[in-house]
Chain A
């Protein structure tokens, strides 16, 4: 054997290598394989490629009305909820509750097993106990003792199942109840904000909580894109401060009892001497500024036919009738305001209110009570006494998601399936037929309402999907297979909304209630009487009526107005707080007759003096951890009756025992003369932008003038329009869901450790009695000259070639210097291992495309880098050029008003770039020279010149 140059491995050398290889191969055995069994897809579902998400259309139903959604699933588990762009109640957007409902699917506190009494039971045993024959023996042959409580429902399937039940039990009674559902009327009030130049919202949260609020928010915002042309003007008259009130151009605060007199006054001013007007308008309360109302009236008159007056669905019938008359008088009816048939079952029928149920229970006629998903023991006025009355029924079957207050009193408890686990249908507020399609098999031994009703109807084993298909077939909703498939695929039936109905001849408006005695703090006559306060009851932006109280994302979502998390408080104006001698967190005792409530106070500017606002949904007493951890007071204990928006003659006194530290994330309303969130009146803006302003000169810099990262074809950037940001906070939860942001809990929020990558800053300018409020989404600004980057000792935060400020989690040692040097304070630190205590099921919600951060590392907004890279890869696979405008961040996608737009600086034709060219564009803290990639557009307030108090 020769050793030529080509092969200089000697025999000895070869043997050495062989020996070494053998020895090292033995070391392979040192790698321990994981002990768990891992199961590959032996037979891969054809529609599923591991790693590639699939999207399905479904709908979420709240208080009877559906909102169309598109849900993203990875390997069979839903991980993100988006709006369904074609669905009229969504238009592609979502609100915070839709976003967070995903977490409820994986909630570790969900009830997992069916039980009878305290004993674990099964669906088979339950169906055996409730076969029509056996049930008839207990509730009477005609079912006179059978009482069913459901949420208001618009579901054709549920209606058909109820009809079937009625054939078995003709005397069965059905009650429809959700505490915050609108009025029980055969028609619903509909509005179109798009053509309205002037919008008057009288205690109507049209952008925040009213049905179709996403639709309205889009229409409202679309008229505010260009402040120079055709901008609408929003007036709000309200006792509390709402999302709509924060967005209003002109806002007047009033006591809730003044709403009717104000509307009556407006109606008479605008020529409401028609028969529709009230017999006699009571005098306006002294503290209502008549000049303001006069200016409003003249603005409305000037825009007759192109205006709209909206009274909240929770307002008194008189107030809503007055608002409808105003629309008639102004000629808006049929254009911007009309009525259509209510999509709800038995809408307008009497005798199925929750009070009737209480009467029936009290009289002892109830033999079996079936409660389908309504937590009546909690979410009802305490004065009805339902929590104790429930036990008057010998049999209580409760279908619920949690072991809550009602479950505690149930003789049979059936875990309820999440809507992402159920088949069903519903109609949107406008009547659009929507499909509820499951994305996943029930995680637990749970059943949907459809299955429960089918079981009661003797179809215990029915497949809910087949029931739905049949019901649509029978009702002619989807006559063909194509129609059915199309409905399931798109999630709704286009064009199935209800047409306007001719306004029924309106009965004369009842007497207008005189406003309660004024309680302005300076009024000496009343200063000694403690019971002169009015309490406003409001739906909560986060937990709604309390049903979402166990969703950590919502509990930790700062309230859009107060920025309060983990609980509620009695919101009072600064003057009222002074009168009561309280500051934030001091306890209050509210009393009215025998009802009382202790709750801490929270001062909110812009509230009507002499009122306190309380949100529903807190003070839960069930077994859900987060719901109980949220410190709060139960507004239902004070609520006099369902549908009552406010209560007068309440006494409020200090009560130290109710004092509590309030976990607010942003407690400073003032900008301290700084200009981070700019707001300007439309007149001033038009005046300034019409005169040619010199372009802003770049700041002097010692750095190279060229952009340092210009090597990539895309340079990512974002533009946020403060003029259309309504502060609804859907983006905050969307970001949390997309980016695996942990929930830290009440204690850590108190210490200012919330982890939101995106927060909504909220500032008030002007007088604290009635300030102008501006909301500002604040996230990593992706500064080109990022102050965080140069101070990191280990280079864990760096700039990418496409202009992203990136966090390298596994390099971060956690010095937190970057956060100290960030002028926007958008960086978040993992003070603890916030993911350590998640159960296997709770972990399923995590987005597999985003790292779950460990303890001790810094994190922050990435501009949804995973979405950028996904789009880049898809474009590369397809061999096409990526259009930067096609990448949408999670916050942008959720935004109902399109206030957030994202894209590349290299594509000047995009909306994002066009908005940056507006004169009102600016960057926050520009003088620091950080060169942020996020540009804001100043909010333009379309003030009424007659009222310009600035």
Chain B
């Protein structure tokens, strides 16, 4: 039925935690993992109601913005970009971990990804939905957004390909398309399982429609495997490229604080970092609410925490290199932005909060106990998410608010609409995610079963991280 599982290189490394616990056969695994879509848990409705309210706020404030103008935000000259672009970069960054976990780790043969990849991929999709809204919303004339797309207009005008914004459109839309396809392709066998077990005709029809006639035949599995791996191979470079391109929105400008060649790798690292933090923030409550402790184990938490530590260290390195390069350049404007304005200027408090959250917090993960402690992981991940949001704010706003001519220096403060849109976008994300876990199999059942089959019945002993660290050290 399934391909042979190669013995994992990291199997024997350390006394890790099992990837699966409890006694399950294929049928019970399927029942167990499909249960969230048949019945709701009491907390779900509360969260769903809250996210609905927040989404309404989002829609309301977007409508208000489009009706009145971008002026309802706090943006000004010199700070012409602020919350919308911060939110955009933040959400795109969060959208990285999903494909990273699914595609990167699939290619690297990291078996532990099986029980968390679906959640991570869904997170990617929903983060990208949010992310793609912001560049449109922040246009002065949002109704002409399509002028950024190369299409054969009757006037013969094309986008200006020298600008990084059309690159952005291409990069994000490509990434979104591939991520969506990848996610959906992975879902097909599980949708078929849902179809087969659905209690009502209507549900059978709906799941059946989306299962694309999947029957679990051998030839289907063979083609599915090939397609899935191909898509993974396609998605993997996109993980690197999309945030590299996003970083070029800043790096091609000549503004001190933006004009920096370290930006592409620096942004990718930061993106994966924040995405992993978001995965933790989503996994921990799900594991508790849907009793998924047997498929999402300490092994997964440990692996993700170790990745976060790695990314955190790389990010800290980027921070240091940025400061060094600013000093080494000898350029007075660069030096001012990095060495004077950010640490001591009007947003200095945010700068230091960011440094603590992004650089100090992951150091907790040197300690094994903290890597597997739910509360500590959860709070640390929230801190990292906040820290990464602040990092984008620092990059965008503090570079703009004090640039070359001191006469144009001006403080930026967000308006209530800015805050509402940020809260609304988080709500929309939660809204979509809650719908996802309610209607779509949120753990890759077929992969878990495969894992269970391939590594023997019952307890699986696998410490997966060693090889990952080797790749990223």
Contact = CB atoms under 8 A, between A and B. Distances in A.
A812 B144 CA distance: 9
B405 A829 contact: no
A832 B406 contact: no
B147 interface: yes
Contact of A793 (B79, B159, B408): B159
Contact of B405 (A748, A778, A792): A778
Given A790-B163, A793-B165, A820 B141 contact: no
A820 B157 contact: no
Contacts of A874: none
Contacts of A819: 77-78, 80
Contacts of B39: none
B77 A753 contact: yes
Contacts of A255: none
Interface stretch (A85-93, A348-356, A390-398, A664-672): A664-672
Interface of B: 68-71, 74-81, 138-142, 144-145, 147-148, 157-160, 162-166, 169, 249, 252-255, 258, 332, 336, 400, 403-411
Contacts of B336: 672
Contacts of A812: 140-141
20 contacts: A670-B406, A752-B78, A791-B162, A793-B148, A793-B166, A794-B148, A794-B157, A794-B159, A814-B70, A814-B141, A817-B249, A820-B78, A820-B258, A825-B403, A825-B408, A831-B70, A832-B71, A856-B141, A858-B140, A925-B405
A273 interface: no
B436 to A, nearest CB: 32
Contacts of B147: 793-794, 811, 813
Given A791-B252, A794-B159, A827 B405 contact: no
Contacts of A751: 74, 76
A489 interface: no
B116 to A, nearest CB: 37
A795 B160 contact: yes
For the complex of A and B, 8 pairs with smallest distance between CB atoms: A814-B140, A856-B140, A831-B71, A793-B165, A825-B408, A816-B80, A761-B407, A752-B76
A855 interface: yes
Q: Which of B81, B165, B405 has the most CB of A within 10 A?
A: B405
Interface string A842-874: 000000000000111110000000000000000
A828 interface: yes
Contact of A668 (B166, B249, B404, B409): B409
A821 interface: yes
A667 to B, nearest CB: 8
A815 B160 contact: no
**Interface of chain B, helix or strand or loop or mixed?**
loop
B278 to A, nearest CB: 27
Contacts of B70: 814, 829, 831, 856
Given A666-B408, A817-B165, 4 more contacts: A751-B74, A761-B405, A814-B139, A820-B400
Nearest to B410: A752
B77 A752 contact: yes
A750 to B, nearest CB: 9
Contacts of A823: 254-255, 403-405
Contact of B406 (A668, A759, A811, A829): A668
Contacts of B157: 794-795, 811
Interface in A763-814: 763, 776, 778, 787, 790-795, 811-814
A104 interface: no
B68 to A, nearest CB: 7
Contacts of A45: none
Given A791-B163, A791-B164, A821-B253, A759 B407 contact: yes
A833 interface: yes
A763 B159 CA distance: 40
A792 B160 contact: yes
Contact of A856 (B69, B75, B252): B69
Q: Which of B70, B162, B163, B164 has the most CB of A within 10 A?
A: B163
Contacts of B252: 790-791
Contacts, number: 162
B142 to A, nearest CB: 8
A327 interface: no
A816 B81 contact: yes
Nearest to B407: A761
B401 to A, nearest CB: 9
Contacts of B139: 813-815, 856
A814 B84 CA distance: 13
Contacts of A924: 405
A285 to B, nearest CB: 35
Q: Which of B76, B77, B160, B411 has the most CB of A within 10 A?
A: B77
A829 B80 CA distance: 9
B404 A925 contact: yes
B405 A832 contact: no
A444 interface: no
Contacts of A17: none
A776 B145 CA distance: 38
A828 B140 CA distance: 12
A928 B253 CA distance: 12
Contact of A825 (B165, B249, B405): B405
B344 to A, nearest CB: 13
A707 interface: no
A829 B140 contact: yes
Contacts of B145: 813
Given A751-B74, A824-B405, A833-B69, A813 B163 contact: no
Nearest to B144: A813
Interface in A904-929: 924-925, 928
A58 interface: no
A820 B148 contact: no
Given A791-B164, A795-B160, A813 B140 contact: yes
A817 B258 CA distance: 12
B254 A787 contact: yes
Interface string A479-497: 0000000000000000000
B347 to A, nearest CB: 16
A658 B41 CA distance: 56
